[in-house]
């Protein structure tokens, strides 16, 4: 769902952008702030991976026959799902940030072009 939100934000920006730098900078600041989120999410992913390894080893060694093993399997599943979700969010944020870099380059080119053609 977050990916659709990022894409709809980008589509809305592209459709409504008329060269207004204030609008562009507002849009840009939202995704630059996301870069900090990417770093924090990557740290959380590393923590989850560190937790996942011993759980995975325990379940693969001891199996899931006894009731106690079920909680380990459930924990492993939750960690795996959280890792997947965080990875998706990071990819979406990176997509938004990469798009912004392209838009920024285009804006610089557009401004240089306008300056050259004013003369």
Band of the pLDDT at 96, cuts 50, 70, 90?
confident
Residue 31 domain-assigned (yes or no): no
Residue 108 domain-assigned (yes or no): yes
Judge whether 37 and 94 are in contact, CB under 8 Å.
Answer: no
Residue 61 domain-assigned (yes or no): yes
**pLDDT for the residue 117:** 78
Judge whether 52 and 83 are in contact, CB under 8 Å.
Answer: yes
Residue 101 domain-assigned (yes or no): yes
Look at 49 and 21; give whichever has higher pLDDT. Answer: 49
Residue 70 domain-assigned (yes or no): yes
In the numeric block, which tokens belong to residue 95? 């997509």
* Range(s) of the domain holding residue 102: 41-119
Kindly tell me if the per-residue pLDDT of 32 is higher than 70: no
**pLDDT for the residue 58:** 67
Residues 25 and 37: their CA atoms lie apart, in Å, by 19
Phi (first) and psi of residue 66, to 5 degrees = -85, 160
**pLDDT for the residue 62:** 65
Other Cβ atoms less than 10 A from the Cβ of 29: the count is 11
Domain count across the chain: 1
Residue 75 domain-assigned (yes or no): yes
């Amino acid at each position: 769902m977050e990916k659709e939100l990022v894409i709809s934000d980008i589509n809305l920006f592209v459709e409504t952008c008329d060269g207004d730098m204030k609008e562009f900078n507002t849009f840009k600041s939202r995704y630059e702030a996301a870069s900090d989120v990417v770093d924090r999410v990557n740290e959380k992913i590393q923590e989850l991976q560190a937790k996942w390894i011993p759980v995975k080893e325990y379940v693969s060694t001891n199996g899931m026959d006894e009731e106690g093993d079920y909680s380990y399997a459930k924990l492993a599943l939750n960690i795996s799902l959280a890792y997947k979700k965080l990875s998706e969010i990071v990819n979406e944020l990176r997509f938004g940030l990469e798009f912004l870099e392209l838009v920024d380059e285009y804006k610089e080119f557009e401004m240089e072009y306008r300056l050259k053609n004013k003369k």
